[in-house]
Amino acid sequence: MPSSRRHRHTLRHAASAAMVLAALPGAAANADDVKLDPIVVTATKTATKLSDVPASVTVITAEEIEAMGDVSVGDIIAKTPGVNFYSSGGVGAASFAQLRGLGGEHTLVMIDGVRMNNPAESNQKGAFNFQGLIAHNIERIEIVRGPQATLYGSAASGGVINIITKKGASDGFHGGIKGEYGSYATRRLDGNLSYGGKLDNAMPFTLSYAHSEYIANGPNLSDEDRQFRANETRPSEDDRRIVYDHSLDFRISPSDNLDGRLFLTVNDLSTDLDNSAQDTNYNKDSRTYVYGTSWDARLLDGRFETKNTVSGMRTQDDAWRPSDAVRHYSRYLGQTLNLENQSTYHLTENHAVVAGLAWDAARAKADNKTVERIDEKMYHTSGQLQLQSQFFDHLNVVAGVSYDAYSAFENALTYRIGAGYEFPETGTTIRAAAGTGYRAPSISQLYYYEKPETLSPEETTLFEAGVDQKLLGDRLKLGVTAFHNRVDNVITSSKDSGCAPGFSGSCYLNGDRLIAKGVETSLGALVYEGKSDSLDLQLNYTYTLTSFSATTSSAKFADHAADKISPHVVNISAIYAFDNDKGSIRADATIKSRGWERYHKGYGTQTSSGYVETYDGDGWKLDLAAQYEIMDNVTVYGRVENLFDSEYYTSSGYNSNPFGVYAGIGYKF
């Protein structure tokens, strides 16, 4: 096997293991711990080996993403432990990620460190909508489960998903193009081009551009068996979706100790999807801008590192029907601006202090036809201090505290402490972490409904403990993590006269308590390795039990995150690499159970509380993906979605993609 192919082959095993070893970060990513231990940044905000991070971390590499063949980033992260992903229609439709039983508003999503949670998201919770996020130009995805509020503030009490894009090549022109066509007239075209060199033969720089487009004319994903109101019609037409994504990235190093970056991403989404329970030619257009600049400096022979960042995002969603007399049916505009300084001082090789100071502003604007619902702003300042240490070469400890000040709420102090210890003689690692979180109400939750809201922030307490075991010369890796999350002062919607005396509309109220607890298990096995081929098996199972306690006002609450969590989720992946890693075949199976979902009157079976409950039942699906390098730098691809055309639900009333076949070809230079 040529050395370059042997390295890629080993790296594939490393990435596969890293993706499933979410139960315990102390586990090595592959058999060669020293050379191939992945470096992660999200868990501690500083570059750290995965094995030294006492947190539940999943790393998905570019090679893994390519082998999966998935179009949506949401479909990729849904294969990881502890993630509950639900969508009302696939690419282009409302799609959200929940970590360990908590709502999407507790999951902070970032792209290259830019906070993407939308303060004007139309579900009024401030979560990130994955609706138009295509799996293209991604270097890796880091998923950190558990309390991260001490590093990232509000919206990160359940965890963080950081999507890191590729940087340009440093030695001349490089690029690639990939095209795909398949069922439902689906077309996809991805391309990238980069150039790297030196300005005036002294200053290294890279300039890169990436483009992706995805066009599909269907299928219709509304469940034909769902119940409808008397005045509603059953869905009939296909669901059109169009996505265009453009990214521009410029990096420069004025000196050996200073690096700078400028970046801009524009994402355009246009869909014809189902609104609520019916298909009435409901159109949605969305445009998102992500922009920023960052400067990294290293002083004192590298012992002191500081990073200054200015970044922001802007998302505008327009929903409308051509049949409306007023074409503009609704508009949601969300904007954020973030200023951040992070400094790391390495006391010794094994001890570092991380200090941060951040300020951010958020704006939400919502219109409904000709009526302005909200146009408000909120400001937030925070300071963080974290100690990261390693003792006796095998004990890793991270402890941090954060102080957050909000323009509309009282200030908050949160903490997190985690520790992991590796027993090299037995290949065993144990780990535990505890922390607190603090989620301020979103702007939409405060001002969207007619009655001005008086809300308290949600307060979260989280705990996790896990163990990992390596066996058979690291060919077999097992992991188990137990977690317990408690959220007090839960914010949820109500449609009850108890919102206010004489008030008959909807409003938001603080509930009593949400409990989410469970177990994540994972298995990674190198089943077979020959001279030119290998077979890897990955399996993870997550059990999540959620309960919502609202003893004083239980009849007022509906459609909370606790109703959408799947109690049992199993993901199984088998990856066969052959011909010295020139080709691979991958099979991904998902099995999940569904719980009850509560809706307003008119859907499902009405209950005594005035709401209705529907049950989606259990579901499963099997996807296949294959690729082969037919000549140098030319690769053909193929994938089959939902091979057995199974009914598989992630959100009540919306089925997953039916059986479909897709093929493509790619070229890199």
Q: 473-521: per-residue pLDDT in tens?
A: 889 999 999 999 999 988 877 655 456 555 555 677 787 788 999 999 9
CB–CB of 218/182 below 8 Å? Answer: no
What's the token pair of residue 628?
A: 């082969």
Residue 17, pLDDT score:
38
Angle in degrees, CA 503, 506, 510, rounded to 5: 100
**Distance in angstroms (rounded) separating the CA atoms of residues 71 and 87:** 14
Average pLDDT over residues 135-161: 85
Residues in the chain: 669
Cis amide bond preceding 501, omega within 30: no
Residue that the structure tokens 């979605």 belong to:
641
Q: Which domain holds residue 146?
A: 3-668
Higher pLDDT, 510 or 614: 510
Residue 122, pLDDT score:
59
Average pLDDT over residues 448-473: 83
% of the chain surpassing 90 pLDDT: 46
DSSP reduced 3-state for 47: coil
Residue 490, pLDDT score:
85
Confidence of residue 174 (pLDDT cuts 50, 70, 90): very high
Query: DSSP per residue over 507-530, as a string?
Result: EEEE-SEEEEEEEEEEEEEEEEE-
**H/E element, 194:** strand 186-199
Of the given ranges (61-70, 81-90, 480-489), which has the lowest mean pLDDT? 81-90
Angle in degrees, CA 560, 562, 566, rounded to 5: 130
CB–CB of 414/437 below 8 Å? Answer: yes
Residue that the structure tokens 């994402």 belong to:
267
Query: DSSP per residue over 16-27, as a string?
Result: HHHHHTTS-TTS
What CATH number is associated with residue 398?
A: 2.40.170.20
**CA nearest neighbour of 44 among 340, 337, 304, 342:** 342
Give the contacts of 493 (CB within 8 A, at least 6 positions apart). Answer: 124, 506, 507, 508, 509, 557, 558, 559
pLDDT (tens digit per residue) in 640-657: 999 999 888 777 667 778
Residue 612, pLDDT score:
47
Residue 215, pLDDT score:
94
Cis amide bond preceding 219, omega within 30: yes
**Distance in angstroms (rounded) separating the CA atoms of residues 61 and 581:** 16
Residue 495, pLDDT score:
59
pLDDT (tens digit per residue) in 561-596: 555 678 899 999 999 999 999 999 999 999 988 655
Average pLDDT over residues 248-264: 94
Confidence of residue 9 (pLDDT cuts 50, 70, 90): very low
pLDDT (tens digit per residue) in 182-195: 999 999 999 999 99
Q: How many domains does the chain have?
A: 1
Q: Is 205 exposed, middle or buried (0-12, 13-18, 19+ CB in 10 A)?
A: middle
Residue 610, pLDDT score:
45
Q: What's the mean pLDDT when you consider all of the chain?
A: 81
Average pLDDT over residues 255-277: 85
Question: Is 560's pLDDT higher than 60?
Answer: no
Q: Return phi, psi of residue 286, to 5°.
A: -140, 140
Average pLDDT over residues 592-615: 49
Higher pLDDT, 93 or 208: 208
**CA nearest neighbour of 402 among 362, 379, 435:** 435
**Distance in angstroms (rounded) separating the CA atoms of residues 390 and 396:** 4
Higher pLDDT, 511 or 102: 102
Confidence of residue 310 (pLDDT cuts 50, 70, 90): very high
Exposure on the CB side of residue 75, measured as CA atoms within 13 A? 28
CB–CB of 205/250 below 8 Å? Answer: yes
**CA nearest neighbour of 117 among 55, 162, 53, 50:** 162
Average pLDDT over residues 279-296: 86
Question: Is 102's pLDDT higher than 90?
Answer: no
Q: How many CB atoms lie within 10 A of CB 488?
A: 16
Residue 235, pLDDT score:
56
Question: Is 86's pLDDT higher than 90?
Answer: no
Q: Return phi, psi of residue 154, to 5°.
A: -60, 145
Higher pLDDT, 477 or 442: 477
Of the given ranges (141-155, 346-360, 503-517, 549-563), which has the lowest mean pLDDT? 549-563
Higher pLDDT, 314 or 106: 314
Higher pLDDT, 381 or 124: 381
Residue 594, pLDDT score:
65
**Distance in angstroms (rounded) separating the CA atoms of residues 208 and 206:** 7
Question: Is 26's pLDDT higher than 50?
Answer: no
DSSP reduced 3-state for 134: strand
Range ranked top by mean pLDDT from 46-55, 384-393, 544-553: 384-393
Task: Please state the pTM of the whole predicted model.
Answer: 0.86
**Distance in angstroms (rounded) separating the CA atoms of residues 534 and 170:** 33
